[in-house]
Amino acid sequence: MPVHHTHHRFSNRSRLTKQNRVVIALLGLAGALAIAVPQIPSIPKVKIPTIPGLDRLMKEDPPITTSLGDALTEIPYLDGFNPRNAVPMTVLPRNADGTFKAFPGQFSFEAQSYCLHAGTHGPGSGEGYLYAPLKGPKQGVIRGILQRSTAHPEIAQQEVQRLVWAILARTKPSELKGDIRQTADQLLTDKDRSALEGSGMDFLKENSTGSPFMSLPGPLRQVMEAENQMRNMFYSPSAPFAELERVAVLSGEYQPRKGDRPVPRGRWSWHPDGYFARYYPDGYSFTTQNIYFREEFDVEIDKNGVASLIKDPAGRQLQVVGGEAIYSEKGAEVGRAKFSPSKPEGDKRKSDFDKLIKKFRKGASAKELAAIADVASAFDSPQETWQHDARELAIHAWMSTLSDEAQGKEASLFAMVGMSVAAANAYDPTNTVATPGETGRQRLAQSSRCKHDSSPDEGDTSEGGELKKSVIDGMKARGYDIGPDNVYIYDQRSTGGMLRFVVRMGHKNNPLPTGECINEQIAGGQVPPGSLEGAKELFFGSVQFSGTMKRVGVRTVDVETGVVTGAGKGDSTGIHPATGNAFQNYQRW
């Protein structure tokens, strides 16, 4: 045992000695290496230089925050609904801030619009735009500019857009150079200037690593770099609009982004102010706004849940009797269609309407909406003119009912009874942003400044020119002293509407100067002296084409109340004789 024990200790000592030899050898080698080559100095920590202003820029909300996530009131049920009888908004009277005094019914407005999202693509040809509210720290400033610009028709649209871009780029008003400074003096208040000065930024220069925004995600970096570049241009003595536009509006093919969603072109939205709207951009600078204000309808729902009667104040009505939907005007039947709504389709619509209406108001009911939609479905594929009229009557009744349910019927009644119809239907689009389903495209601020399109003159050989001459001749035959300046022609056939005309009538039943942007013409002194009177009535009409036949309809509407005060129709193979027949058949109610 002792011998074995001694051997065990010796074995341990032998193993440790070997380990020591290895350690000593490694230490010797390290020493030799230390002598043979100079020591490599330790690598210091690289301090990435900070960029003054970038941290603040990233922490603050952008001046305008409106996004696709704010577009919550779209109405898929109305896809494909293209009302044909729309009045041009610009022939209506206005308040000092440009607000239109509208009445119940359908309107169209070709407006100036403004880019609110620099560094993105402009509108394409197929995507849809939805209503969203103007939101963000500078929404009040932007809206004020849009409202005040209506009273300054002498300020070109490009100059207004330049000022909007300057605000989006967080430019300091005190450092603006050139013409934009004069525009700012006219369209900004002292309060606006103070707010913009306090939130303004300097130009962020590149550092040794390149762009100050290199670390940001691609889409955000694109916008930040565009705004920074424009900020530098605004601080220069001259910033050509074309150069600003080149930075703000991207060219090239659009690449889909995360968050995009399909929105059909021409989709309707419900606006919390109580009307319906849809938007057709023409580039970023112009947008056609289609607007519908609720009308008063009598709707009767029978014990089986069927909308047995739908009637408007003008005497048009739909009745469901014995499996047929009968369309009448002024008590005279015009046509009838089979009424046999599909139960599965009706149940699906009812479910969709339930979900939709609860977005607007808790406790709202979709029962009446579903019943009206069943009647409208009898005219889903209209061929003849009366079928279009019947479907439009039903859909407008549906829209008016949705507006009642969304606001509460009591609120709608108060709006109509407690104030004038024009006051209840005041229209100011400056709190509205037309927002694309493709998030990398520009959001468009809407204004009440019009596009300034001209109406065909009497000598024009087009259908519009022929209609203008026909209206003049038809009204002269009834004793009116009327000329080309009193008739405005507008063609809505490209968006499913009709070729139309309107004449503004004064308090002495005299034709007034009429045209697109009439209020801006008045403000600019372009309307002859003595003719600045506001319109009491509107004389308007339309041409329907059916093969070789033309039908012209004429109506007068009281501007203050929205009540139809007279109507007439005329048929013929030509626009001129059909228009003459319509005025000859016109009867005042």
Residue 25: predicted pLDDT: 41
Q: Which residue in this structure is represented by tokens 């947008």?
A: 287
Pairing of strands 120-121, 249-250: parallel
Three-state SS sequence of 228-269 = HHHHHHHCCCCCCHHHHHHHHEECCCCCCCCCCCCCECCCCE
* Cβ(480)–Cβ(145) below 8 Å: no
The highest-confidence range among 44-48, 179-183, 494-498, by mean pLDDT, is 179-183
- Is pLDDT at 412 greater than 80 in this prediction? no
Averaged pLDDT score across all residues of the chain: 82
Non-local CB neighbours of 336 within 8 Å, separated by 6+ positions: 324, 325, 326, 327
Residue 313: predicted pLDDT: 84
Phi, psi torsion values for 94, nearest 5 degrees? -135, 160
**Which tokens is 405 given?**
């349910």
pLDDT tens, position by position, 262-301: 999 999 999 999 899 999 999 999 999 999 999 999 999 9
- Is pLDDT at 98 greater than 50 in this prediction? yes
Min mean pLDDT across 51-60, 238-247, 455-464, 552-561 is at 51-60
What is the pTM (predicted TM-score) of this model? 0.79
Q: Which amino acid is residue 72, in one-letter code? A: L
The domains of the chain are located at 298-422, 463-588
- Is pLDDT at 50 greater than 70 in this prediction? no
Residue 185: predicted pLDDT: 94
Min mean pLDDT across 30-44, 240-254, 323-337, 374-388 is at 30-44
Q: At what angle do helices 241-248 and 157-168 cross, to 10 degrees?
A: 50
Average pLDDT in the 330-355 region?
Answer: 93
- Is pLDDT at 19 greater than 50 in this prediction? no
Query: Which strand (E) or helix (H) includes residue 170?
Result: none
**Residue 111, CA distances (Å) to 14, 130, 285, 328, 381 in order:** 98, 16, 8, 36, 32
Question: CA angle, corner 557, sides to 308 and 388, nearest 5?
Answer: 45
Residue 453: predicted pLDDT: 63
**Which tokens is 16 given?**
């440790």
Percent of the chain residues topping a pLDDT of 70: 79
